[in-house]
A and B are shown apart, each in its own frame.
Chain A
Amino acid sequence: MSQPVSAISIQGLTKDFSVTLRGVKLRAVDALNLEVAEGQVYGLLGPNGSGKSTTIKIILGLLDATVGDVRVFGVPAHRVEARRNVGYLPEAPYFYRYLSGRELVKFYARVCGVSGTTLKARVDEVIDWVGLSGAADRRVGTYSKGMLQRIGLAQALVHDPKLIVLDEPTAGVDPVGSAEMCELIRKLKQQGKTVLITSHLLAQIEDVCDRVAILDRGKLIVEGSVLELVGQRDRQALIVDPLSEVDLVALRAWLEARGHHLNAVEQPRARLDQLFLSKVSRPGRPGGASAGVGSNEVPLDAKP
């Protein structure tokens, strides 16, 4: 019985760039091994210059590997066929400013072979899905950064790819735009898509990724599920109403009698981005109060 094919398989990937005419090389990626299973949201993290974007470009066939094997759904990444099932949103996307949002998505759809009766329906569907129906006939040159990210996502999804590659999708976008992008990524996961995200904004990624890999100077430093990497399995937190000093002493004694220790007593805090999102108005929402302070989840039913 054949094994299921990974969405992305990277074996021994090394990428060198010549930085001088005398042949001095800069190693951007160093002996990288990664497997991204189908249906996962996978975060490729690391500081600037860690090799994230280079790795993505090799996956997309825009760069050739110096050494190693990179496959997308089993097809070597340098082949045009490998890109049939891939959608890509580049970092800080810049699109043809003279086209309207609808014309832009239609252009990319036709490049991907979407045609005939499905073309219009598919273009309208993805534009609606990213929440740009109201601005679809405006020129892209008039879009804000957040809108550019969303029209970029629409062009990446228009041919219904199985793998979506997002390069720094929240870079330069305000917290509202970032939250909306995270919501869209969660929806993609619900649809069974594989999503590869690069970012150095770790808090945003943590909420949406199933697994992450951390790169530093081109090398893989850490890889695993988010729960494995940041969860503390030997600890638990109880959130209760405020306790008096007497009750706290009694609780500590009760725990110690059972062999446990009360390690810390803290005031729970909402994250600042959640407070921000709860207060500012967001497109498609009547008010800002729906994402409550203290909630760890951003509602999925909201339209961006």
Chain B
Amino acid sequence: MSVASVPFSFSRLSLIAGNTFLEAVRQKLFNFLLLLAVGLVASAQFFREFNFGSSELKFIADFGFGALIFFGSALTIATTAQLFFSEIENRTALTLLAKPLWRAEFVFGKFLGVFAVIGVFCALTIGLMMALLWHREGQLMEMRPEDFANGRLIAYGDLLVVGVLQWLKFGVLTAIVLLIASFSNTNLFTVVTGFFVLVICHLQYLARDAWGNVDNPLVGLVVRALGFIFPNFQLFNLADQVGQGAGVSPVVALQVAGYAVAYIAVIGGLAVYSFRNREI
């Protein structure tokens, strides 16, 4: 019997994403981590006496990025797992998936909802950090105008680019956690495994450097394969290049962004495939 097909719909996908976003921002965890991150960034100006020898403005930027990366990673893993399992455990997924809705729309809707939440978090944290830097740099310009003969020192555009790249990195992490959640039975397993994978992704370059060129071709092959399976999160750490030499290269930034988008597409596709076979 021939029936009209139900095409993949971006409208339904955006509905799921919007609902996920709404649920996330009403959670205490999001507000708590956001407040902590914002508080930490804002407090950077009080720690400027402890700048360990680097310039004061560099210290504020490092402090801000540190807060962004630490709380952003925790928020990404916890929020993704929580928002996915709340649908399963509360059985709202049953009602939703009993509608004419593709599971791909559900998974990518969840992804986009969490990605938007993390986007808000990154925008607020980076925005506050840039405002602090702008304010302090203005004060320093008045106090020591000779150091700022060529105008402001900080490349705010580069800060923004690094912030966007961090957001994309969190997007990759969101896709990874969704993939784990698609076959995991518990929220706890998803969160713990998510943190392990986060550590692997940050440290995998060490293994690749140490073992990638060993004599045993099999070990070398395995290490290189693992290097492709787990994305290298060190590539996203361009914060050190802000204000150094020519700053952040647009070409490098675009390459890293492409790298993130490719991983999101592949890992998201795997999450959809895994979730399609899941019995709800």
Contacts and interface: CB of A to CB of B under 8 A. Distances in A.
A94 B102 contact: no
Given A62-B280, A74-B1, A111-B15, A94 B92 contact: yes
Contact of B280 (A57, A83, A93): A57
Contacts of A90: 91, 94-95, 98
Task: Assign chain A's interface to a size class.
Answer: 20 to 34
Given A60-B98, A80-B6, A83-B98, A94 B91 contact: yes
B149 interface: no
A155 interface: yes
Interface stretch (B18-26, B184-192, B223-231): B18-26
Interface of B is mostly: loop
A113 interface: yes
Contact of A62 (B1, B90, B279): B279
Q: Main SS of the interface on chain A?
A: loop
B99 interface: yes
B26 A108 contact: no
A219 B280 CA distance: 22
A86 B101 CA distance: 12
A64 B99 contact: no
A81 B15 contact: no
A23 B117 CA distance: 41
Give the interface size class of chain B. Answer: 20 to 34
Contacts of A57: 94, 280
A83 B95 contact: no
Nearest to A155: B95
18 contacts: A60-B97, A61-B97, A62-B97, A63-B280, A80-B102, A81-B3, A81-B100, A90-B94, A90-B98, A93-B91, A96-B92, A98-B23, A108-B95, A110-B12, A110-B15, A111-B96, A152-B95, A159-B99
A75 B101 contact: no
A152 B94 CA distance: 12
Contacts of B23: 96, 98
